[in-house]
């Protein structure tokens, strides 16, 4: 079995749901390394042995997690978000979800999808690695045209 890096995130109204899910799936989660934002991290650390607690989401935890995703250090994310409550850091949440799509990180935003992820045969497949889109052409888009790059320089 390959040890996975799993991100756990929950909005305040969904923390209890996520903790219940973690308790129910403790045996499946225990061998893996968990990254969790703020209070969620401290709650999950009471159940699982290997938890890295990041900052609270609104205080930068979402960005910390996004950075780990960009560094390809997160294998999948469980994010129990609250669709019924306006979040003051909604732009951070959208940015985090954008990163999971950009880097093709399997992401569950509700319990049913989280159950599907954790029970998938790919969950324990040590050879499975999600396809990562190659963005090298995007990154090199100005290398063939120095004039276009010069146009971006601030005088």
Residues involved in catalysis: 62
* Cα 76–Cα 81–Cα 82 angle in degrees, nearest 5: 170
CA distances from 150 to 7, 76, 139 (A): 40, 39, 16
DSSP state of 59: G
d(CA 11, CA 5): 20
Q: Where are the beta strands (DSSP E) in 1-152?
A: 5-10, 33-37, 51-54, 76-80, 107-108
Terminal Cα-to-Cα distance of the chain (whole angstroms): 54
């Amino acid at each position: 079995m390959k040890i996975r890096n799993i991100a756990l995130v929950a909005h305040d109204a969904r923390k209890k749901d996520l903790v219940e899910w973690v308790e129910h799936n403790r045996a499946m989660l225990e061998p893996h390394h968990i990254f969790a934002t703020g209070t969620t991290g401290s709650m999950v650390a009471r159940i699982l042995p290997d938890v890295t607690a990041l900052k609270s989401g609104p205080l930068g935890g979402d960005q910390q997690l996004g950075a780990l995703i960009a560094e390809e250090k997160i294998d999948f994310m469980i994010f129990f978000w609250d669709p019924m409550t306006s979040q003051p850091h909604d732009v951070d949440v959208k940015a985090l979800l954008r990163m999971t799509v950009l880097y093709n990180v399997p992401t569950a935003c509700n319990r049913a999808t989280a159950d599907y992820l954790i029970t998938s045969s790919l969950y324990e497949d040590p050879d499975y690695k999600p396809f990562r889109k190659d963005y090298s052409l995007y990154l090199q888009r100005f290398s063939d045209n120095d004039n276009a790059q010069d146009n971006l320089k601030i005088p």
